Each structure stands twice: as structure tokens, then as C-alpha cells.
């Protein structure tokens, strides 16, 4: 009887282990599923209708089912909306955005890679590489970003970094160069590891950086591509369900692991409004898709691009016309100072349509100055506000230098006064 119970326990343990192995092997494999175009179109329509029906004009109106969501304005590099956007979380295959950056900046696209056993045996979503297969770095990148191939990620990592650890060091070095402080990389593919994490905000920053690389933008914007392995052609399709199904979408990357949930980073541009949305920790692929659509439609319903540089400059010119001549230069060889204003790090910004008329500027400056005055010397400041909230503070500086009067200057002035 005791032996029977022991056998049952052993069998149950074996079954549990098998289930766990299947679960692990399924990590990030959802990306290989075929995209049902009709289903995606229905989800697009439903999400768009939800935004319209709820009259979503405030952040509180935007109901997401995923644990994390974010909208990032590419023009101003600022967050338009976030739900847990600064929380450190696993990132699944969205990791491959950074993998691509490191490869594109450190490898020759025409290099031929011979796939080793480690890459060929990598689980999860796969390009289908076998040991000793030969493929270019260029085609591996397509396999990485379209097919979400974990085997392609390892092959690239070993080729560029010598090993997964060596490549991870390059990834972390690049993250530091980019000013990312809440991201850390252990793998090139994103399968769950304790010390492998990022935030939605920093993931948007990575995507924004990567999209400035023409080849990256070309890859993630491709619905399909014909790669070559061992001289044989193979057509692969993009796992990004919104590409080609939602107006303006031009990338970026899907992802799924048990730890990260369903993830999707999306780039979308309509007219001048260029955004990146991030959805992490969705429980289903449908939630991932729907929440991404909600974020995109919310942004385009409520935001528009304004030329903030032009607005500030116009306001400054008005203020300067009234105040520049009021500034007194004591002991200066010249009586008139010419002023200029510094600039924000961007020319355009996305702001809520209802706040377009609430942009204002507040100017402050010194009206008494002692010579000498150097060029670019700060003599005042300007606050830029939107709806009463400070967007930024700019310096008002001297455009010209003014020397201090010398004895000879005073003598000449005196002689001019003598009749």
C-alpha cells in the first residue's frame, strides 16, 4: 500500500514536471501564432468605439486591463499618459529592441554567422535555426524582430559579444550611455531571469532611440521578409498584430513570457503626432492588442502637436520690445544690451487640445547691470507654462558683450559736453 502511494506521488511529480517544462518551453512562443486579420480588425473597431463612447478626455477615463501602460511623445520625449510606467518589470521579447541596437551599432550586416549548438537549442519562439546553419547578420535581425527568434538572438549575441554574458555587458553599457537607470539585461532574448528588467518608460526610450536607426525602422516596419539560410529562401511574417491593421502604426515589437505576460511596444504616427505606446503585463493577447489600440486612439483624440518654440519666441519678442531698452548698463561703453532666450530641447510638443490656448510665459530680468557684461551672461529667466504647470525654465541672456568704460571714455564724454 505504501509502495502504491509512493508510485502515485512519483507519477504526479513527473506529470507536474512535464507541465512545467511545457510551460517554460511555451515562454514567448505565442508570438509565432498566425494573426487573424478579421479578429484584429474587430478589436480595432471595438477599442475605437469604446474611446468614442466613453468620451475619454481625462486619464481617469482610460480603462486598461493590462497592469502597465504608457504613451510617449517622440517629439518632446515626454510621457503623455502612464499607468505604472516607472515600475521595474520583466520585458519578454521587447528586450530584442536593445539587442537590435547593440547589433546594429557593433556588427557588419553582411557578416555570415555560423549557428552554434547553443543558439540552435534555444527554446521559446524560434526562427528555426540548426547547428552549423549559415545566415547573415542582416537576415538574423529580421528573424529576431519579425519572427521573434530566440535562437536568432543567441546567434547574434555570440557573434557580436563572444557569449551571452559578453553581449549582455554590451547591452548594459549601452543602457547606461542612454541614461537608462531602471533597466538591466541578462539575456538577448528576454526569457525570464530575475535580474532582467526594465520599465515601460525606459522601453519607450529604447524604441525611440532605435527608430532613429534607418535599418531598424525598416525591419520593424516590414510585414514579411524573405531571408536566406544555407542559400535557401524562407519567408517570415511579423508578429506585430497592429502593423498594417491600425492607421499610422509602423512598428515595433511583441513579447510574451510567463513572468512578463503579454507585451507590445507600438510606434504610430498620424500627421505630426508621433507616439510610442507600451503595454506590459497583459493577461491575454486580446487585452494586449485592445489596450494598445485604446492608448493610441486616446492620444489622437485628445492631443495635438504645437510648435512650442515658435510660441515662446513670439512671446519673447513682445516682451523684449517693451523691456530691452529699460535695462540700464552702469559704466558701460554701450548703453544698449541685446537679449536672446535659450531653447527647450525640442521644437514641438504634444499637448491636450483643450489646453492649446493655456500656454503662457512669465519673464523676469534684471533692469540694472554693472559693466562689463559678457556675451551669453544670464540676466533673466522665462517660465513656460501649460495650464498653470511649469513646462520648463529658460535663460534670458546677453546677445552682445559690453565693456566697462575707461578713463579715456569719461574724458571724451566730458569734452563732448563742453561748449
**Tally of helices (H runs) and strands (E runs) in the chain:** 12, 17
What pLDDT shows up at residue 55?
60
Torsion of CA 136, 140, 142, 148, to 10 degrees: 170
Please indicate whether residue 93 is annotated as part of the active site: yes
Q: Which of 76, 100, 125, 148 is catalytic?
A: 148
Q: Closest Cα partner for 302 from 50, 42, 52?
A: 52
pLDDT band at residue 335 under the 50/70/90 scheme:
confident
Q: What is the pLDDT of residue 25?
A: 42
Residue 333: what pLDDT? 85
Residue 283 predicted with pLDDT over 90: yes
pLDDT in the model for residue 16: 47
pLDDT at 190: 95
Between 359 and 406, name the one with better pLDDT. Answer: 359
User: What residues make up the domain containing 359?
Assistant: 307-407
Last residue of a domain, one of 260, 280, 303: 303
What is the per-residue DSSP string for 349-360? EEEEGGGGGGEE
DSSP 61: G
Confirm if 184 and 195 have CB atoms less than 8 A apart.
yes
CATH number at 220 reads: 3.40.710.10
Question: Are both 134 and 251 inside the same structural domain?
Answer: yes
Q: Into how many domains does the chain fold?
A: 2
Q: What is the pLDDT of residue 39?
A: 75
Instruction: Select which of 76, 83, 93, 183 is catalytic.
Output: 93
Q: Comparing 51-65, 232-246, 305-319, which segment has the lowest mean pLDDT?
A: 51-65
Domain identity same for 268 and 381: no
Grid coordinates belonging to 130: 540548426
Tell me, what's the pLDDT at 410?
67
pLDDT tens-place string over residues 135-154: 999 999 999 999 999 999 99
Does some domain include residue 416? no
DSSP symbols for 267-320: EEEETTEEEEEEEEEESSHHHHHHHHHHHHHHHHHHEEEEEHHHHHHHHHHHHH
Which grid coordinates are listed for 52? 468614442
Does the residue 4 lie in any domain?
no
pLDDT at residue 26, rounded to an integer: 44
In a domain, 213, yes or no: yes
Report the DSSP pairing between strands 249-257 and 339-341. unpaired
Query: DSSP string covering 378-412, please?
Result: EEEEEEEEETTEEEEEEEEEESS-BPBP-HHHHHH
340 is catalytic: no
**Is residue 14 in a domain?**
no
Residue 246: inside a domain: yes
In a shared domain, residues 259 and 388 = no
| Mean pLDDT calculated for residue range 68-87 | 96
The confidence score (pLDDT) of residue 412 equals 72
The verdict on residue 6 lying in a domain is: no
Query: According to the model, what pLDDT value does residue 75 have?
Result: 94
User: Which of 303, 328, 362 is the endpoint of a domain?
Assistant: 303
Residues 296 and 317 in one domain: no
15 found inside a domain: no
Residues 38 and 97 both lie in one domain = yes
Q: Which cell goes with 406? A: 575707461
Spatial distance between the Cα atoms of 55 and 49, rounded to a whole number of angstroms? 10
pLDDT at 77 over 70: yes
The 10 Å Cβ neighbour count of residue 371 is 16
Determine the length of the chain. 419
* Cα angle: 380, vertex 382, 386; to 5 degrees: 170
pLDDT averaged over every residue in the chain: 89
List the catalytic residue out of 83, 96, 147, 253.
96
pLDDT at 6: 53
Looking at residues 381-393, what average pLDDT do you find? 93
Please indicate, yes or no, whether residues 203 and 96 belong to a single structural domain of this protein.
yes
> Is 69 found in the same domain as 165?
yes
- Asked if residues 103 and 137 have their Cβ atoms less than 8 Å apart, the reply is yes
Asked which of 49-53, 199-203, 209-213, 229-233 is least confident by mean pLDDT, the reply is: 49-53
CB count within 10 Å of CB 218 equals 13
Q: Could you tell me the CATH number of the domain that includes residue 344?
A: 2.60.410.10
The answer to whether 96 is a known catalytic residue is: yes
Is residue 281 domain-shared with residue 325, that is, in the same domain?
no
Regarding whether 207 and 78 lie in a shared domain, the answer is: yes
Asked if pLDDT for residue 15 goes beyond 70, the answer is no
- pLDDT band, residue 186 (cuts 50/70/90): very high
**Do residues 102 and 193 both lie within one domain?**
yes
If asked whether residues 155 and 189 sit together in one domain, one would say yes
* Contacts with 234 (C-beta within 8 Å, 6 or more apart), sequence order: 128, 226, 227, 228
Q: What is the pTM of this model?
A: 0.85
Residue 34 has pLDDT above 60, yes or no: no
- Residue 57: predicted pLDDT: 63
Strand 328-330 vs strand 368-370: parallel, antiparallel, or unpaired?
A: parallel
Q: Are residues 115 and 209 in the same domain?
A: yes
**Which of these three, 258, 284, 303, is where a domain ends?**
303
Amino acid at each position: 500500500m505504501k509502495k502504491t502511494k509512493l508510485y502515485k506521488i512519483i507519477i504526479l511529480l513527473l506529470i507536474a514536471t512535464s507541465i512545467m517544462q511545457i510551460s517554460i518551453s511555451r515562454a514567448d512562443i505565442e508570438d509565432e501564432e498566425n494573426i487573424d486579420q478579421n479578429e484584429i480588425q474587430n478589436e480595432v473597431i471595438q477599442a475605437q468605439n469604446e474611446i468614442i463612447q466613453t468620451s475619454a478626455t481625462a486619464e481617469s477615463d482610460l480603462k486598461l486591463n493590462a497592469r502597465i501602460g504608457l504613451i510617449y511623445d517622440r517629439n518632446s520625449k515626454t510621457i503623455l499618459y502612464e499607468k505604472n510606467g516607472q515600475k521595474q518589470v520583466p520585458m519578454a521579447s521587447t528586450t530584442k529592441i536593445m539587442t537590435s541596437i547593440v547589433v546594429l551599432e557593433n556588427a557588419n550586416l553582411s557578416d555570415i554567422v555560423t549557428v552554434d549548438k547553443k543558439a540552435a537549442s534555444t527554446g521559446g519562439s524560434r526562427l528555426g535555426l540548426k547547428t552549423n546553419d549559415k545566415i547573415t547578420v542582416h537576415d538574423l535581425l529580421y528573424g529576431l524582430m519579425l519572427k521573434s527568434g530566440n535562437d536568432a538572438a543567441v546567434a547574434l549575441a555570440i557573434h557580436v559579444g563572444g557569449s551571452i554574458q559578453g553581449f549582455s555587458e554590451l547591452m548594459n553599457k549601452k543602457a547606461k550611455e542612454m541614461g537608462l537607470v531602471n533597466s538591466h539585461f541578462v539575456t538577448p532574448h528576454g526569457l525570464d531571469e530575475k535580474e532582467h528588467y526594465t520599465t515601460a518608460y525606459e522601453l519607450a526610450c529604447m524604441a525611440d532611440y532605435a527608430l532613429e536607426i534607418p535599418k531598424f525602422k525598416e525591419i520593424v516596419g516590414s510585414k514579411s521578409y524573405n531571408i536566406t539560410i544555407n542559400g535557401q529562401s524562407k519567408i517570415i511574417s511579423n508578429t506585430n498584430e497592429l502593423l498594417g491593421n491600425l492607421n499610422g502604426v509602423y512598428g515595433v515589437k511583441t513579447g510574451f513570457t510567463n513572468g512578463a505576460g503579454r507585451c507590445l511596444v507600438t510606434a504610430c504616427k498620424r500627421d505630426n503626432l508621433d507616439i510610442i505606446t507600451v503595454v506590459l503585463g497583459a493577461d491575454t493577447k486580446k487585452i494586449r492588442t485592445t489596450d494598445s489600440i485604446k492608448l493610441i486612439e486616446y492620444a489622437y483624440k485628445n492631443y495635438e502637436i504645437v510648435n512650442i518654440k515658435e510660441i515662446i519666441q513670439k512671446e519673447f519678442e513682445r516682451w523684449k520690445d517693451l523691456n530691452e531698452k529699460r535695462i540700464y548698463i552702469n559704466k558701460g561703453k554701450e548703453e544698449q544690451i541685446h537679449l536672446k532666450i535659450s531653447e527647450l530641447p525640442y521644437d514641438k510638443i504634444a499637448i491636450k487640445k483643450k489646453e492649446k490656448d493655456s500656454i503662457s510665459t512669465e519673464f523676469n530680468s534684471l533692469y540694472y547691470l554693472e559693466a562689463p557684461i559678457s556675451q551669453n551672461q544670464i540676466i533673466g529667466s522665462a517660465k513656460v507654462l501649460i495650464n498653470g504647470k511649469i513646462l520648463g525654465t529658460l535663460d534670458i541672456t546677453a546677445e552682445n558683450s559690453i565693456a566697462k568704460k575707461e578713463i579715456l571714455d569719461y574724458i571724451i564724454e566730458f569734452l563732448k559736453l563742453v561748449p
